Structure formats: structure tokens, C-alpha cells
Amino acid sequence: MKEREIPQKEARAKAEKLLSGIKTVFLATNGSHGHPNVRAMMPLLFEGVETLWFSTELESSKIIELVKDDKAAVFGYSPRSMSTFRLWGNVKILDDLVSRKHVWTDALKERFPGGAQDPNLRILRFNAVSGLFSGKDGHSGIFEIK
Amino acid sequence: MKEREIPQKEARAKAEKLLSGIKTVFLATNGSHGHPNVRAMMPLLFEGVETLWFSTELESSKIIELVKDDKAAVFGYSPRSMSTFRLWGNVKILDDLVSRKHVWTDALKERFPGGAQDPNLRILRFNAVSGLFSGKDGHSGIFEIK
């Protein structure tokens, strides 16, 4: 496979296009006992690849991990094209009403019957600082996010 | 969703069944600058959930990360049933001919034209120490691997 490095702007645009076409990403955190942790998550909203919003339950192991260490990585891919992106950044755990309402969708009702104000709901806002796009044809590129 | 804790043996058996039905898992490592890292990988072989074998390229960022810190996590899921498993363990980077031949399959030829002895090929052997299975219906359980 011939490797080709693509410019930052193109890599970021391709990562954004890929993200907008998928439902599930994989969120890695620094877990317990020095091991990383990883799980599938559906972003509720995203602003480019810069900011991804997720919901989680208060008693989730993610919360404990992210309180201790907010550094995280997000991986996404297209099983068809095998294009992939990775984002590295930090996660804020939000509990304010503005954030809750910002991401609320009725699809969350099953998990959070109390709606946007459900006491068990927490919002995770992932802010990327850098990323990497890799296409199946061997073109790839990193990008910084200011 | 009603939560139900299942015994270790059942949780492990369900994780093994799930692993045997999927092609892709997600391998998280302790990456650079304190951030975790994560990517999709296809296990070449596995022995229950205890040992998973992967191939990688010598110049992969995984190699650098795993030389520094061999702790890793593997996540797998069924997009249909939304059952998931997680495994925590350690990864050994292997370069001996027995390991190379153990995992070799002709499907690797495109990436490693030199075959099992391709100088660019490295074998990753993930050994789990513990795991977690979660079923969509709310039953879940952890298991230790001796």
C-alpha cells in the first residue's frame, strides 16, 4: 500500500465527513489500575471534529475515570471503506441545564425517564486537541485543533 | 432497564460467544502525552477470551506505545444485539518464527508480502486478566481470568 501524507486541512475535512456519516464511535479513557478503557458510544451532537457531545449515566464507570483524568481518545471508522479517524482531547462532565437541554433528544427517554432534568443524566463534552485521518488507499494526515 | 448481575462463568461464556461471532474488536492502549489511544483490529486467532492474537506493522504507533506500557483493553460488540464485552490485560510483542507461523494466514499477504517471515510483521498477543460482559437486556457480569 502506497502511503501518502495529506495536508492538515484535508485530513480534518475527511475526518469530519466520516464522523458525519457514522452513528457509533469508540471512546477510550484512562481506566483503573493503569489500564485504558474503551466502549462504543453514540454522539448526540457534534460541531465538526472539535466538539462531540455524549450522554451517560451518573453511575457509569466513565464518570469515575473522567473525574480522575479527563484525557480521552475517540475512534471512528467506516466498516465499508475502512477509512478511520482518531481524535485526542479532553472530556468535561456537565450537569447544568443549558448543556442538558442542548443535547436532549426524546430518544434518550428510555434511559432517562425524567427527561433533560433526570438526576441520573450527565453530559460529556469531548473537546479535541488533535486528530488523525487514515484512508484505506493509504493517504493519511494528522491535524491540530486550536 | 432492569439490571441483573450474572455469575462469572456465565459472563465469560457469553463474552466468548460474542467474540467468536464478530470480526472486529477495538484495542485501547496507553498512548502519548497521557492520552489513551484506540483503533479497530481483527483478531487473527483467539483462545477463548483469554488470549487474542493480532498482527501489526513494525512502524505502527501501537508498537511504540506497547513497548512503553503493555497494558491494554479490548472492546467488542454486536451492533445488532448491542451486547458488549470488555477485556483488560497485557500485550506482548512477538517476533519469533513460531508465533509468526502460529498466526499466519494468506489474507495477510497484501500487507506482508514477505509472508510469515516478513521483516515488517510483528505479532501482538493480548492476554486478558479480567473482563466484563453486558447484555442489552441489562444482565452483566465481570470475570477474572487466572
Name residue B48's amino acid: G
Taking an 8 Å cut-off on Cβ atoms, the answer to whether A38 and B35 are in contact is no
Residue B84 touches chain A, beta carbons under 8 Å: yes
Distance CA B57, CA B121 (A): 5
Q: Give burial (CB, 10 Å; 0-12/13-18/19+) of B4.
A: exposed
Residue A86 touches chain B, beta carbons under 8 Å: yes
Minimal-distance CA residue of chain B relative to A111: B1
pLDDT of residue B1 exceeding 60, the answer is no
Question: A2 and A135 in contact (C-beta within 8 Å)?
Answer: no
Taking an 8 Å cut-off on Cβ atoms, the answer to whether A40 and B69 are in contact is no
With a pLDDT cut of 70, the percent of chain B lying above it is 99
Strands B4-5 and B51-57 turn out to be unpaired
Question: Which residue(s) pair with A30 in the sheet?
Answer: A36
Residue A35 touches chain B, beta carbons under 8 Å: yes
A126, A145, B17, B76 from B79: Cα distances, Å: 23, 31, 15, 10
Residue B81: the pLDDT is 87
> Across the A/B interface, how many CB contacts are shorter than 8 Å?
90
Q: Read off the pLDDT of residues B16-48 as tens digits, 9 standing for 90 and up.
A: 999 999 999 999 999 989 999 999 999 999 999
Please give, rounded to a whole number of angstroms, the shortest distance from the CA of A96 to a CA of chain B: 25
**Mean pLDDT value of segment A130-145:** 94
Distance CA B137, CA B134 (A): 8
Q: Read off the pLDDT of residues A103-125 as tens digits, 9 standing for 90 and up.
A: 999 999 999 999 999 999 999 99
pLDDT of residue A25 exceeding 80, the answer is yes
Q: Which of B24, B37, B73 shows the shortest C-beta gap to A37?
A: B73
**Mean pLDDT value of segment A36-49:** 97
Minimal-distance CA residue of chain B relative to A30: B36
Taking an 8 Å cut-off on Cβ atoms, the answer to whether B36 and A75 are in contact is no
ipTM greater than 0.85: yes
Question: B53 and B45 in contact (C-beta within 8 Å)?
Answer: yes
Distance CA B99, CA B67 (A): 18
Which residues have C-beta within 8 Å of that of residue A138, sequence separation ≥ 6? A1, A2, A3, A4
Domain annotation for chain A: domains and CATH numbers = 4-144 (2.30.110.10)
Q: Of the candidates A69, A68, A9, which has an alpha carbon nearest to the alpha carbon of residue B36?
A: A69
Residue A88 touches chain B, beta carbons under 8 Å: yes
Question: Which residue(s) pair with A29 in the sheet?
Answer: A37, A72
